[in-house]
Structure 1
Amino acid sequence: MPSLQDKIVLISGTGGGIGYEAARRFAEQGAIVFGCDLIAENHQASVKRLAAKGLTLYGSGEVDLGNPVHAEQWINDAIKQFGRIDVLFNNASAARFGNLEDFSVDDWYYTTRNELDQVFFSTKFAWPHIADGGVVLNMGSTAAWRGTTATGKVAHCATKGGVVAMTRQLAAEGAKRGIRAVSISPGFIQTPGTAAFVANPEVKQQLLSGVLLNRLGEASDVVSLAVYLASDQASFITGSDFVVDGGMLAT
């Protein structure tokens, strides 16, 4: 089993489904987890849930990583408390969806700000503090690899494609310093934030269309891979994107 004992792990979006699951699993593996979320109440709810399991989640909520000042402060707070970064998990994101003819300029900027800019800002400010052997783990999406006729994703496809491409370049630049960079591209994942889609039988059937394993993804499906990729067991893996989609892209 991968061990992350005493690794300093920064995870964004710890108030959400995947972020909470990541904080829990990394902490169970012995990592010291420092998180944040745009909504302070959601982060604090995760703090309490983990405390009930005897686990600790550090950091505070209401951090807007699309704002470079907030992103730099989040990194500085972690360094002030722990002195280094072993793993940066750029998990948080937010997007707007719509077909191109209906998609506003504000929708475009909202999505690029909250899915691409914040990955760059967090990584930029963390980069000087990432230890030799450290890892940058970015959240991509199957939207980086395919379009869809079901839901307009023009900005989401662009930003997640950018995250996957950025990851490859981070791997190239980080190699001389012993920093690995990898990305994970999930298909549809069931979380509290996507519950409304799953509750609609027609939408759920659309989501399952083409998924070879005939089920929707769970947060644990993504996080299990993240734990491995962040660990020393994956020390020869860098610059790659890993799809977690139940076989959807294979069809």
Structure 2
Amino acid sequence: MSGRLAGRVAVITGTAGGQGAVAAELFAAEGATVVGCDVKPAPGVAAVDLSDEEATRSWLEDVAAEHGGIDILYANAGATRFGPLEEITSEDWDFNLRHELDVVFFAVKHAWRHLKRSRSAAVVLVGSTAGMTGSMTNLRVAHTVTKGGVIALTRQLAAEGAPYGIRVNCISPGMIETPATRNDLLAEDHPMRRIAAAIPLGRIGRAEEAARCALFLASDEASYVTGANLVVDGGWSAVLPGAEVVG
């Protein structure tokens, strides 16, 4: 490894599993001091409810005090509930807002003053192809709204961060295989289970493929990139689905 993040303090949310756990390993291998959290208890991972603003603020203050600042924030944590418009309850709607928008907003808000003091500050948010396109297979109106909000937030934060040298970018994964998707969208009884056939590269993405894109955006290799939304979906959202090939 080249040590692309050597000497930097990287806060990564949602590190108990999935893409967050993979990112924590990648960032640490590149020399970063990685501080992770999750709502679920896990060895070496702080238990923090990021939908609670005061808990988020307190945790980030402690991180900055212990490590001398914060250079990178990778706001990866999130949880969602799917459902079509007529079936989404107000509770489901509020759940998505809290766990896909609030958890990002509170983390960025309370890391911001520490990032302003860094000479190499970078923020990476996690959108989704769901925030860019609708779907006739996975009916997820609230998830579409929240992920679209994250992509929009990226652009506004890039504008507000530029005077302080804070770069803010977003990755928008498509279908990535994680423990969560294996038990939901890729389960045998879900209509999305055959989605690989509609992806130009012909397969589901791996967690490390999304995490490597976040690593790039957090590193100096992306020093002239801010306000970008990097789509990581095997070409899924770039092309129209073709007719089924027979024979």
TM-score, length of structure 1 as denominator length:
0.90
Q: Is the 8 A contact 1:190 1:217 kept in 2?
A: yes
Q: 2:46 aligns with which of 33, 43, 60?
A: 60
Give the deviation of 1:210 after TM superposition. 2.1
Pairing of 1:1-251 with structure 2 (within 5 A): 1=2, 3-40=4-41, 43-44=42-43, 47=44, 59-61=45-47, 63-130=48-115, 131-196=118-183, 197-200=185-188, 203=191, 205-251=193-239
Q: Is the 8 A contact 1:2 1:227 kept in 2?
A: no
Structure 2 residue runs without a partner (length 5+): 240-247
Deviations 1:30-85 (A, max 9, x none): 10000000011xx31xx4xxxxxxxxxxx512x11011011101211211211211
- What letter corresponds to residue 7 of structure 1 in structure 2? R
- Give the root-mean-square deviation of aligned CA atoms: 1.4
Structure 1 residue runs without a partner (length 5+): 48-58
More deviation in 184-193 or 198-207? 198-207
CA distance in 1, matches of 2:189, 2:233: 20
Q: Is the 8 A contact 1:2 1:231 kept in 2?
A: no
Q: Is the 8 A contact 1:95 1:110 kept in 2?
A: yes
CA distance in 1, matches of 2:197, 2:136: 12
Deviations 1:206-242 (A, max 9, x none): 3224200110010011011111110111100000100
Give the deviation of 1:202 after TM superposition. 6.2
Give the deviation of 1:2 after TM superposition. 6.4
Identity within the alignment, %: 43
Deviations 1:134-177 (A, max 9, x none): 00100000011100011221111111111011110111010100
- What letter corresponds to residue 157 of structure 2 in structure 1? L
CA distance in 2, matches of 1:229, 1:14: 18
Change (3 A) 1:74 1:207: farther
CA distance in 2, matches of 1:110, 1:126: 23
CA distance in 1, matches of 2:7, 2:200: 38
Match of 1:75, SS state, is helix
Match of 2:225, SS state, is coil
- Which of structure 1's runs of 4+ aligned residues deviate more than 3 A? 201-206
Match of 2:125, SS state, is strand
Q: Is the 8 A contact 1:16 1:193 kept in 2?
A: no
- What letter corresponds to residue 34 of structure 1 in structure 2? V
Alignment partner, residue 51 of structure 1: none
Match of 2:73, SS state, is strand
Q: Is the 8 A contact 1:2 1:232 kept in 2?
A: no
CA distance in 2, matches of 1:215, 1:201: 19
Match of 1:27, SS state, is helix
- What letter corresponds to residue 142 of structure 2 in structure 1? A
Deviations 1:173-210 (A, max 9, x none): 10100000000000011011122243417645432242
**Would you say how many aligned residue pairs link Structure 1 and Structure 2?**
235
CA distance in 2, matches of 1:250, 1:14: 30
